[in-house]
Amino acid sequence: MPCTVIAGSFWGDEGKGKIISYLALKDKLDFCVRTGSVNAAHTVWIQSNRYALHMVPAAFVYKKCRLLIGAGSNVHVAKFLEEVEATKVKSRIGVDYQASIIEEKHSIQDKTSAHLKGLGTTGWGVGPAVEERVRRTAKLAKDIPELKPYLTDVTTEVNNAIDADKNVLLEGTQGLMLSLYHGTYPYVTSRDTSASAICSEAGVGPTKIDNVLIVFKSFITRVGTGPLPGELPKEEAIKRGWFETAAGTGRERRSAPFNFELAKKTVMLNGATQAALTKLDILYPECKGAKTYDSLPIKAKQFINEIEKQTGIPVVLIGTGPEALDIIDRRK
Ligand code: IMP
Ligand code: MG
């Protein structure tokens, strides 16, 4: 897997953090570049410790992995420094000179601007920060003294790593249905979330990508407002064990059954080559902790077969519990 892109499928919160932390340990990732911004929280469970990461790449669990934040990202300086401390990655994390900065004023604008009212944003200020970048008035990472020890040319580092046949992973945030271009506009985030955009934010050209791994959850959730086909009433979601609250904001997540039509569309738009499926143990509790495909109950296998049949790509990783290593790995 020299260069793999991890992309979200629906409205985020599919468990990308878990999948990335597994790949980091299992495949001994050399480099992981996080894209997007502070609005996304990637949850990682490692030896019963839980991390909800807004800035640091989820591959931090593998101690030899170089961690990078791409030029297309928006950096929240205080959150970045706090997480660098908590994850103890000071010596191996870098931020691109050209990443832009999200400031307190952006968060205030996010919460008070009339045009954003009703969209149910996370309130971190990512939309206003991106607006400022488009106006060409944004601060960049190179303008911030506290970031000086971390500054690097991510684009060059990551392309050199790919050319040297290192294992590189590009960490997408959110899901395709939250894409500014392809999602449920205007109920979307402030960037394209597709695999192509992830590459662009990291500074990696499309010919350098070997694998696009899309992450599906066994049911769908959405925070904030906007359409959600097949949405269940909260009581039904609780009954099924699908009721979740957001890792970042604590808000309640709405939920719906897996949607094969949407899955097909998101595989197409991402050019996905492989899929991961998380939380199979929530859909089918008998799957909890399973380590082999053969040990899964027949209905779980049928569900996986149906995803493969309808999307045309193999489901190679199957999540059967919250810890990084609770995975069935069907790759060769
Ligand atoms: P914003 O990204 O904070 O502007 O919020 C826009 C929409 O995207 C809202 O519906 C948010 O709930 C949603 N959103 C943003 N980031 C995430 C995420 O990481 N997971 C799930 N939803 C998100
Ligand atoms: Mg999340």
Q: What is the pLDDT of residues 299-323, one digit of tens each?
A: 999 999 999 999 999 999 999 999 9
Residue 195 has pLDDT above 70, yes or no: yes
Average pLDDT over residues 244-251: 84
Of how many residues is the chain composed?
332
Q: Take residue 118 and report the two structure tokens written for it.
A: 């009703």
With H, G, I as helix, E, B as strand and everything else as coil, classify residue 55: coil
With H, G, I as helix, E, B as strand and everything else as coil, classify residue 15: coil
Q: What is the pLDDT of residues 136-192, one digit of tens each?
A: 999 999 999 999 999 999 999 999 999 999 999 999 999 999 999 999 999 999 999
Q: Give me the phi and psi of 204, to 5 degrees please.
A: -120, 130
What is the CB-side half-sphere exposure of residue 240 using CA atoms within 13 A?
A: 21
Q: Which CATH superfamily is domain 3-329 in?
A: Adenylosuccinate Synthetase, subunit A, domain 1 (3.40.440.10)
Ligand 1, from 112, 223, 251, 252: best to mutate by most atoms within 8 Å of Cβ?
223
| Distance from Cα 41 to the centre of ligand 1, integer Å | 10
Q: Take residue 206 and report the two structure tokens written for it.
A: 């499309």
Annotation marks residue 165 as catalytic: no
d(CA 4, CA 210): 6
Selection from 217, 208, 127, 114 nearest residue 160 by Cα: 208
Q: Take residue 293 and report the two structure tokens written for it.
A: 């495909």
Q: What is the pLDDT of residues 266-312, one digit of tens each?
A: 999 999 999 999 999 999 999 999 999 999 999 999 999 999 999 99
What are the CA-CA distances from residue 17 to residues 1, 41, 232, 253, 323 (Å)? Answer: 18, 8, 25, 17, 10
Q: What is the pLDDT of residues 13-46, one digit of tens each?
A: 999 999 999 999 999 999 999 999 999 999 999 9
Q: Which-ligand-closest: CA of 41?
A: 2
| Distance from Cα 133 to the centre of ligand 2, integer Å | 24
- Give all strands (DSSP E) within 29-177, no chain letters: 31-34, 42-46, 49-53, 66-69, 74-75, 93-96, 100-101, 151-152, 168-171
| Distance from Cα 16 to the centre of ligand 2, integer Å | 8
220 CB-near residues (< 8 Å, 6+ apart): 10, 11, 228, 230, 255, 256, 257, 258, 259, 262
What pLDDT score was predicted for residue 7? 98
- Say whether the peptide bond before residue 186 is cis (omega within 30 degrees of 0): yes
What pLDDT score was predicted for residue 174? 97
Task: Give the global pTM.
Answer: 0.97
Cβ 124 under 6 angstroms from ligand 1? yes
Cβ 189 under 6 angstroms from ligand 1? yes
Q: Which-ligand-closest: CA of 224?
A: 1
